[in-house]
Amino acid sequence: MKLLISEHDDFESRYVLKFKTEAQKYGLFVSYEKDRAAIDIGLHLTEKVEPNYRKPTQSRIWFQLKGKHKGTLPLRQYEESETIDLSISIEQLKFWYASPEAVYLAVYVESADVFVIEDVRDIVLRQWGERLFEEGTFKVDQESTTIKLRKINESCPEIWERMYFHNSIRIDGPSYKGRPLGHRLDPLRCIPEKFEPDDFENLVFRLLEVHGFREKEAIAPEVLFSNNYGQVKIMKGVLLQTYEWRSQLGTFFGFSDEVEHGLRGESKLESAQGKCLVVIHSNSVTEPNPDAIDRLSSKLLEEEIKNVLFFVNRDFSKNEFGLRSFSYLGNISRNFGKHGIDCSPQFLGDLAFNILIATNVYLEFRDIIRWKIINYLL
């Protein structure tokens, strides 16, 4: 056996070292003791918390490194192309695409002294989508295929910063009607404590944002409330996606003895989409004025707005809001409803439903949520 180091080995060592020098600014390295997963390097992302300190995030990403010799891909050819072709094992490609954590291909182009880095999922979605797993997509005896990395993904700070949008979450354990949520809290049977007004407003805004809400016009609180209304924001807009919620008023927290495995009643699913009015009552001091509701309803109908999303930073239970909860609920639902406008106020328990099924939003606000009542998925 000859003890020789090939030019290929030397080239690979050089670009691996170059990649690590760049990647170490963004995280801590993770690696397999034996390379049997077709993944070269893992990176546990870190974020800066103080000028001289960083802390680990909840995200890990993985990289498979490849290299293109300058003889294989000359600089002129690279500059004139929009993509880099790479032959990849179909089995490995399916494995990377189905991975629960993001896998990137990082190709070093020696002639340009640059890495092109792209998420395998983006590559597959662009070339095959879910057809990657279908019979007939590839020939029966085909073992490899050609993927195309876009040259616009040359390594730069913006490419690395985008990786922080990846989340590593657990999807084992109980699910909500087959949906893995990344936590075990029951969306129908939890109630958060009252939020600080600004936190409540930011949380509701975020929930609306992920449902495609587009604000069209801000409305002065005095249009709906008398003096001393606390903190409230009112706006007209459009919901591009359906916003759904379930009221806790008709949801059972206990079990029925009438069914062998326990029946827990759920309130009907309510929804809104399209044109709507949004009211965020972050510091609820007084109720809306009934006469003001009548006047506003007439204007809303002129604009064909028949949905009102009304968020209240209060618990519906007696301990938090007293009998005024029913007054508040009846006042809004009844006075908008008599004009043919749908409006069921969402108190904190009702809002918990959307907080907990919108996992990314829940993870974003998790540190400021304090739970008054917690029930876990069974």
How many percent of the chain have pLDDT more than 90?
69
pLDDT for 33-75, tens place per residue?
Answer: 777 777 889 999 999 888 889 999 989 999 999 999 999 999 9
Domains, in order of start, for the chain: 7-165 (3.40.1350), 191-373 (no CATH)
pLDDT at 326 over 70: no
DSSP-derived letter for residue 288 is P
CA distance 65 to 40: 6
Helix (H, G, I), strand (E, B) or coil at 180: coil
Whether 167 has a pLDDT exceeding 60, the answer reads yes
User: At 173, is the pLDDT very low, low, confident or very high (cuts 50, 70, 90)?
Assistant: confident
DSSP code at position 111: T
In whole angstroms, how large is the CA radius of gyration of the chain?
Answer: 27
- The pTM of this model reads 0.81
Query: Is the pLDDT confidence value at 171 over 90?
Result: no
Cα 371 to chain centroid, rounded? 21
Give the pLDDT band of residue 227 (cuts 50, 70, 90).
confident
Q: What is the pLDDT of residue 307?
A: 95
